[in-house]
A and B are shown apart, each in its own frame.
Chain A
């Protein structure tokens, strides 16, 4: 009897401790998600027309909405390029500044600097880098004998231009995590590998990289979320143009919900984004978890 009482009270105790966090999560995360889903099944209420239940109509509209399809495709492409590129770059930079070399502190700071800047500031700097003719990039291109390029004004280059900027900004942030992980690797491992005559590439591939896997999972989850969540630069530089060539999913949601005030369709789009992110996160956990060696 007393044991059951203690267990019960321990249970209550535990739940009480969880309650504040659970309430906050419920009120500000789960309830809005459910409400969003509910709204997405209705039409947008207007001053003279109240909301009407339409089932999955909003989702059907989406399949025929060329701007949505373009934004989705852009976003997938954007994620597929920026995530691997910034992760690889982050590992390279971390390996580089983990060595004993002159000016190491300065180099680390330089790599990390883009992370500290707000995205809007970065976007405004890059806007002038990309300016045709007298922008930084075109000035360099000119000295190499190339002509002016309208980086942000052509459909073929605009998304790539945004990707480069994102990689530049994200890589420094991920580098910090890799650097921290690298410093945890016991030096004995390097000594042992040297003794065995392993090449540097072999040592990295079979020892360092597996040891970095927990960090990689963390970084990947963050990178995926960021690639769908960060659209400040789209707002600041291109507003999705030209002709939606640089529109990303969240930017389109913002346009629909807060420029067109079609909140119901905005809710349906949000559900798609939510489902996409949930799917990616679950996939990463189940797929990568098995390959990760936790010390």
Chain B
């Protein structure tokens, strides 16, 4: 019954396709899964991109399929894979790389084509973004919609507190000191305005990685089979985060919800927030006050993890489909197009060449905040990613939340997370 229904639907689809594509019987059709993680008319932009590409490449048809959040998209992709019909290409988190390799789902780009021109194309991306896209000497994902974390601060609240509104905290010590002056209490002793807020719901490991990077401490190795949660530098970074709320009382206690953090900022409940550059367009549209965007403060060094999604090509695709997918990946990451994509969405354009284009230069001149993420990139490290990624990340997240809610001290929480991660990663040594 299911199969008759499917062939029936396929018949209709074929008929419809035939009507549109006419004589193009040999066209390569590529199914393309993409998630949405930021505001803005993303489906319209993607559809437009596919249509423009088809116009220039008559032999290829791109079928974009919106598949929900990043989490939904990896779930749908793996489900489709297990059902034997994965998409031909997809945008998934750069950190899904090891998971996809372990599932034997994707092909490295070198295996599709390895000419000098292809090598030069891959070398053209920011090295910070490539860190999460390469392992074992091969490139498994192409940087597409990438981001980093930055700090946003409310200039009016800085002025009220007697601080220079053009100078955000540049070191951890300054953050504590300025945070103290930016935290306000009412007569009853209840806090009405917090100094700083670092969200910790859902994926606290990402924000935490900003702190560990600034503390010059690595969380994992490049092979993705070792983690270093219990090293002193990592525990120190967590202790600093815990102290912001428990000792210095300049940060809201407990878990700060990622989704409502921009709202807290708009409502002037908090003077400084850390969140993704992907929120830039949203904050620019909704903040009713003068705000600044800058790199996060440094401790031993400046630092942020990278984030966001890469383009992957799936193993199930035929050689002709793989070649077509490569062509599409190259086409969407051309400097002009990468620049336009960055301007439209708030993502960081993925190559230095994109920032050299006239349209990007003009945009940055009018809105310098757009260049902050780029300037922070040389200090950025790869987002946390290992084999059995979701599971190891959960061990880390649980430990972080335990420390932030005061259930376990920072060192113990990290030692527990390390033990759990070691157990999960044992088969990959």
Mark A residues whose CB is within 8 Å of B.
46-48, 67, 127-128, 131-134, 142, 145-148, 150, 152-155, 238-239, 241-245, 255, 258-262
Contacts of B259 in A (CB 8 A): 127
Could you say which residues of chain A place their CB within 8 Å of the CB of B398? 67, 243-244
Question: 12 extra interchain contacts, Cβ-Cβ under 8 A, other than A239-B201, A241-B202?
Answer: A46-B102, A127-B259, A147-B191, A150-B255, A152-B257, A153-B201, A153-B254, A155-B405, A241-B397, A243-B398, A243-B401, A243-B407
Judged by DSSP, the binding face of A is loop
A42 to B20 Cα, complex, angstroms: 49
Residues of A within 8 A of B399 (CB): 243
When distances are taken between beta carbons in the complex, the residues of chain B under 8 Å from A154 are 253-255, 405
| A–B pairs, 11, beta carbons within 8 Å | A47-B104, A127-B257, A127-B260, A134-B267, A147-B189, A147-B190, A147-B191, A241-B401, A243-B398, A244-B398, A259-B390
| Minimal Cβ-Cβ distance residue in A for B256 | A153
A131 to B264, CA, bound (A): 9
B391 at the interface (CB under 8 A from A): yes
Within 8 Å of chain A (Cβ to Cβ): is B54? Answer: no
> Taking CB as reference atom, which chain A residue is nearest B260?
A131
> Which residues of chain B are near A155, meaning CB under 8 Å?
405, 407
B210 to chain A, nearest CB (A): 19
Chain B residue nearest to A241 (CB atoms) is B401
User: With contacts A258-B75, A260-B390 known, is A147 near B188, CB below 8 A?
Assistant: yes
**Please, which residue of chain A has its CB at the minimum distance from the CB of B397?**
A241
Whether A242 contacts B255 in the complex (CB less than 8 A), given A153-B201, A259-B75, A260-B391, comes out as yes
How far, in Å, is A95 (CB) from chain B's closest CB? 39
Given A134-B267, A259-B71, A260-B391, residue A242 in contact with residue B405 (CB < 8 A): yes
B146 to chain A, nearest CB (A): 23
Residues of A within 8 A of B332 (CB): none
For residue A147, which residues in chain B have a CB less than 8 angstroms away from its CB? 188-191
Check B78 for interface membership: any CB of A closer than 8 A: yes
Q: How far is the CB of A162 from chain B (nearest CB, A)?
A: 14
B402 sits at the interface (CB 8 A) = yes
Q: Assess the A261–B257 pair: CB atoms within 8 A.
A: no
Chain A residue contacts of B322, Cβ below 8 A: none
B361 contacts A by Cβ under 8 Å: no
B269→A134 contact, CB < 8 A: yes
Pairwise interchain contact A133-B404, C-beta atoms closer than 8 A: no
Nearest 3 Cβ contacts at the A-B interface: A153-B254, A153-B255, A147-B190
Check if B405 sits within 8 Å of A243, measured CB to CB: yes
On chain B, the number of residues with a Cβ less than 8 Å from chain A's Cβ atoms is 40
Q: Is B394 an interface residue (CB 8 A)?
A: yes
Contacts of B236 in A (CB 8 A): none
Cβ-neighbour of B388 out of A127, A238, A243, A260 (below 8 A): A260
Q: B192, B257, B404: which has the most chain A beta carbons within 10 Å?
A: B257
A148 touching B191 by the CB < 8 A rule? Answer: yes
Residues from chain B with Cβ under 8 Å of A48 in the complex: 104
Contact A150 B104 (CB under 8 A): no
Q: Is the pair A242, B391 in contact by a Cβ cutoff of 8 Å?
A: no
Contact with A along B357-401 (1 / 0, CB 8 A): 000000000000000000000000000000010110010011101
B110 within 8 A of A: no
Set of chain A residues within 8 Å of B402, measured between Cβ atoms: 242-243
- Taking a contact as CB atoms under 8 Å apart, the answer to whether A47 and B405 are in contact is no
* CB nearest neighbor in B for A45: B82
Interface contact A255-B255, CB-CB below 8 Å:
no
Would you give the shortest CB distance from A63 to chain B, in whole angstroms? Answer: 16
Quick one: CB contact mask for B203-239 with A, threshold 8 Å, 1 for yes? 0000000000000000000000000000000000000
Residues of B within 8 A of A262 (CB): 391
B252 within 8 A of A: yes
A132 touches B405 (CB 8 A): no
CA distance A131 to B267 in the complex (A): 12
A153 with B188: in contact, given A242-B254, A244-B398, A255-B394 (CB under 8 Å)? no
Which residue of the partner chain, among A67, A132, A145, contacts B252 with CB atoms under 8 Å?
A132
Q: Does B103 contact A (CB under 8 A)?
A: yes
Can you list, as one digit per residue, whether each of B76-103 has a CB less than 8 Å from chain A (1) or not (0)? 0011000000000000000000000011
In the complex, residue of chain A having the shortest beta-carbon distance to the beta carbon of B79: A258
Contact A241 B269 (CB under 8 A): no
In angstroms, how far is the closest chain A Cβ from the Cβ of B183? 13
Docked CA distance A238–B397 (Å): 13
A153 lies within 8 A of B405 (CB): yes
Closest B residue to A70 by CB, please name it. B398
**A255 CA to B390 CA in the complex, in Å?**
9
Q: Give the nearest-CB partner of A149 in chain B.
A: B254
Query: Do B103 and A47 touch across chains, with their CB atoms under 8 A apart?
Result: yes
Contacts of B103 in A (CB 8 A): 46-47, 261
Binary interface encoding of chain B residues 159-193 relative to chain A, with 1 for a CB under 8 A from any of its CBs, else 0: 00000000000000000000000000000111110
Known interface pairs A239-B201, A241-B397, A243-B398. Does A152 touch B269 (Cβ–Cβ under 8 Å)? no
Is the Cβ of B255 less than 8 Å from the Cβ of A152? yes
Residues of A within 8 A of B397 (CB): 241
Interface centre among A133, A142, A146, A260 (most CB of B within 10 A): A133
A244 CA to B394 CA, complexed, in Å: 10
Contacts of B252 in A (CB 8 A): 132, 148, 150, 153
Tell me, in angstroms, the Cα distance from A131 to B189 when the chains sit together: 20
Considering only CB atoms, which chain B residue lies closest to A124 in the complex?
Answer: B259
Closest approach, in angstroms, between the C-beta of A97 and any C-beta of chain B? 36
- Expressed in whole angstroms, the Cα–Cα distance for A118 and B38 within the complex equals 24
Question: How far, in angstroms, from A131 to B402 measured CA to CA in the complex?
Answer: 20
Contacts of B388 in A (CB 8 A): 260
A258 to B257 Cα, complex, angstroms: 24
Q: Which residue of A lies closest to B189 (CB)?
A: A147
Query: Once bound together, how far apart are the Cα atoms of A134 and B193, in whole Å?
Result: 11
Question: Across the two chains, which residue of chain A brings its CB closest to B408?
Answer: A243
Residue in A closest to B99 when the chains form the complex, CB atoms:
A261
State which of A47, A131, A152, A258 has its C-beta within 8 Å of the C-beta of B102: A47
CB <8 Å contact, B188 and A145 = yes
